Amino acid sequence: MDDALARRFENERPRLHALAYRMLGSAAEAEDVVQESWLRLSSVDRVDNLGGWLTTVVSRLCLDALRARRETPVSSVPDAAGGSVPEDEILLAGEVGRALLVVLDRLAPPERVAFVLHDLFKVPFDAVGPILDRTPATAKKLASRARSRVRGEPAVPAAELAEHREVVTAFLSAARGGDMATLLTVLAPDVVRHTDPTMLPPGAAAVLRGADDVARGTKLFAGNARLAELALIDGDVGLVLAPAGRLAGVLRIEVRGGLLQAYEVVASPERLAGTEIATLSCGDV
């Protein structure tokens, strides 16, 4: 391989890594895929459209990796507080959107690849189809199906959703800063918090009642709150906890009369599997 082609590849590297990361949700796996594409390029005599060729190779490698992951699922869940997750993974997940990565992780491999290529990287379906070994029309259907799951369908009226979002945003901001005064203005006086035992330190109560106790309990989880992100949880505004883009828990939140009436921290894999999660865009308010 000549130096000019090597420089062109290095210019493509950031885009390829971004593409692979959104397909795989792992910075390390994305780097491995990009490196493999480099090795394959070095064994090819001639490439007319380098960007297109590399996009195809990286996408197919990601598709193979996603299928292999489905066949041998990994049961590990990142530490809820992010302590065992590399800092660069946490920062990258925050830049891309933790809720988006969680939802993408629930898609079938062809759906995820079609959605990422078309909706996130603007690759036309005429190019997406051959990458997936499908027709462009089928690739379009795959992306459409993925898009519906990513965006979700709110289960409450728009005005109510906007109010819920405002309250949950204020709650999250106060929780991140450990701001007791603001928490007490957001929480209803008789608020109740239920928490899966797996998310609690030994001896901590699974149920807290009253604004004072719930605010103090919430303040203890300021580290977790900094890694949380708004999302649609079962059709209403809640929070998703996914430090590096891998789901660790969700908060189902009940808002009434402009106050947070109750919230539940769900972390058990069985319950998370039955929870509908979608991204919450600006258009949802």
The mean pLDDT of the chain is 89
Q: What is the 3-state secondary structure (H, E, C) of 100-116?
A: HHHHHCCCCHHHHHHHH
CB 107 within 8 A of CB 139: no
Positive or negative torsion for Cα 22, 23, 28, 34 = negative
pLDDT value for 201: 80
Burial annotation 104-137 (CB, 10 A radius, 16+ → b, else e) = bbbbebbbbbbbbbbeebebebebbbebbebeee
Per residue in 33-59, pLDDT tens?
999 999 999 888 888 899 999 999 999
Residue 109 corresponds to which tokens in the numbers above? 């491999």
For residue 1, what pLDDT is reported?
62
Q: How many CA atoms lie within 13 A of 104 on its CB side?
A: 28
State the DSSP H helix or E strand holding residue 87, giving kind and residue range, or none if neither.
helix 87-96
% pLDDT > 70, the chain: 93
pLDDT at 153: 80
Would you list the DSSP string of 206-273? SEEESHHHHHHHHHTTHHHHTTEEEEEETTEEEEEE-TTSS--EEEEEEEETTEEEEEEEE--HHHHH
Q: Which two tokens stand for residue 242?
A: 């996914």
What is the band of 133 on the pLDDT scale with cuts at 50, 70, 90?
Answer: very high
Give the model's pLDDT for residue 172. 96
Helix H or strand E encompassing 74: none
Phi, psi of 205 (to 5 degrees): -75, 135
- The predicted model gives 162-179 an average pLDDT of 95
pLDDT for the residue numbered 75: 44
User: Which is it for the CA torsion 34, 38, 44, 50, positive or negative?
Assistant: positive
pTM (predicted TM-score): 0.80
Give pLDDT, residue 9: 94
User: Please, which residues have CB within 8 angstroms of residue 216's CB and are 6 or more apart in sequence?
Assistant: 180
Residue 71 has pLDDT above 90, yes or no: no
254-278 confidence digits (pLDDT tens) = 999 999 999 999 999 999 998 999 9
pLDDT at 116: 97
Please say whether the beta carbons of 166 and 235 come within 8 A: no
pLDDT of 78 over the 50 cut:
no
Is the predicted pLDDT of residue 285 greater than 80, yes or no? no
Q: Report residue 250 CA to chain centroid gap.
A: 12
Tens of pLDDT, residues 201-232: 888 889 999 999 999 988 878 888 888 999 99
According to CATH, the topology of domain 3-151 is Butyryl-CoA Dehydrogenase, subunit A; domain 3 (1.20.140)
User: Predicted confidence band at 284 (pLDDT cuts at 50, 70, 90)?
Assistant: low
d(CA 217, CA 200): 10
Say whether pLDDT at 79 is over 80.
no
271: CB partners within 8 A, 6+ apart:
196
CATH topology classification for 158-284: Nuclear Transport Factor 2; Chain: A, (3.10.450)
For the chain, the domains span 3-151, 158-284
**CA 97/CA 106 separation, integer angstroms:** 15
In this predicted structure, what is the pLDDT of residue 82? 44
